Structure 1
Amino acid sequence: MKRWLARRHRGVRPDVYADEPDQRRAAVEVGQCGESVLRRLVSRDADARVRAAAARRLQDPVMLRRVIESDTDVQVVASARSRYRHLLAGGDALSLDYRLAALAACRDGQIIAHVARSAREPALRRAAMERVDDHRLLAEIAEHDDDRDLRRAAAGRLAAIRGKGQRR
């Protein structure tokens, strides 16, 4: 992977402290930056492409949530949302307890739905599923989730939501 990135940036010398945005972005993409540098770049760099590259590598859900809520560039926000979704679902080394806490703080329905559908651990999928009201998603979980208990819980939640709608 690093060879491919190095070829991609042929003629561009990766340097996270360079004045040229292409050099800073290349440094991020070839993995020359630690978490503190990525945090600085994603929150302060003037170039949106550098911020987006930093968001794609960052391991800090709190900082990613800040970027999602405050950055004005669509591509930066999209990169941060994608990375945030990936981190919450368990595509890294963050602990389950940390990801459960991050999920509890999340207010983005699409991210919560992604975690309900795709999280690595059943406990995390359940925590997300309990915050979902989408009939189709609950039906999908009830029918297709790998965990039998979670399928039952989703079916029960779906029945309860449908029952509330009929009583009104």
Structure 2
Amino acid sequence: MRLRRNPRPDIHAPDPASRRAAIDAAVVGHNALRRVVTHDPDRGVRCAAIRRLQDLIILRQVCESESDEVVREAARVRYRQLLAGGDTLDIGYRHAALKACSDAQIIAHVARSAREPSLRRAALGLIDEWGLLEEIRCHDPDPTVRSAAADRLINLRS
């Protein structure tokens, strides 16, 4: 009697479900994830790769140039999550990515929710919205961020 083994997930399989399974099983390296995000023809496979990718540059490119709205939104969600610090990415890398970001909603999310006060303060310098600055001035848990929001409001009045 021969035992049938389940096929091992394969990122190169012709079937999109097998490629997604390989991504979900974390048997895919980061370089392969980058290739999948930018080249795989299947939307579901690309979204699965986006959820695991930790490359802010590729994610920003997808946010800015992707024609498929579902893939673009998945990249925005992941980019926002990584930028705010839901991972182990270096703070310097995240600061540089914030400076390159032009999406006002992502910047607002970082200003409200970034794990590190220094990143929240950096985001404040990119915000011109009075209501958001006032909200942060009143409610941020860090006094240096609240002070920076107050200073930004004063500078905007001038």
The answer, yes or no, to whether TM exceeds 0.5 is yes
In structure 2, the partner of 1:126 is 121
Secondary structure of 2:151 counterpart: helix
Q: For the structure 1 residues 80 and 34, does the alpha-carbon distance in structure 2 shift closer, same or farther, using more than 3 Å as the test?
A: same
User: Unaligned regions of 5+ residues in structure 1, if any?
Assistant: 1-10
Which TM-score applies when normalising by structure 2? 0.91
Structure 1 segment 5-154 matched on structure 2, within 5 A: 14-154=9-149
Q: Is the Cα contact below 8 Å between 1:68 and 1:77 reproduced in 2?
A: yes
User: Unaligned regions of 5+ residues in structure 2, if any?
Assistant: 1-5
What amino acid is the match of 1:114?
Answer: H
Q: CA deviation at 1:134?
A: 1.2
Q: CA deviation at 1:150?
A: 1.1
What stretches of structure 1 move > 4 A for 4+ residues in a row?
none
Match for 1:157 among 149, 152, 156? 152
Which TM-score applies when normalising by structure 1? 0.86
Q: Is the Cα contact below 8 Å between 1:122 and 1:147 reproduced in 2?
A: yes
Q: CA deviation at 1:12?
A: 8.3
RMSD: 1.5
Count residues with an aligned counterpart.
153
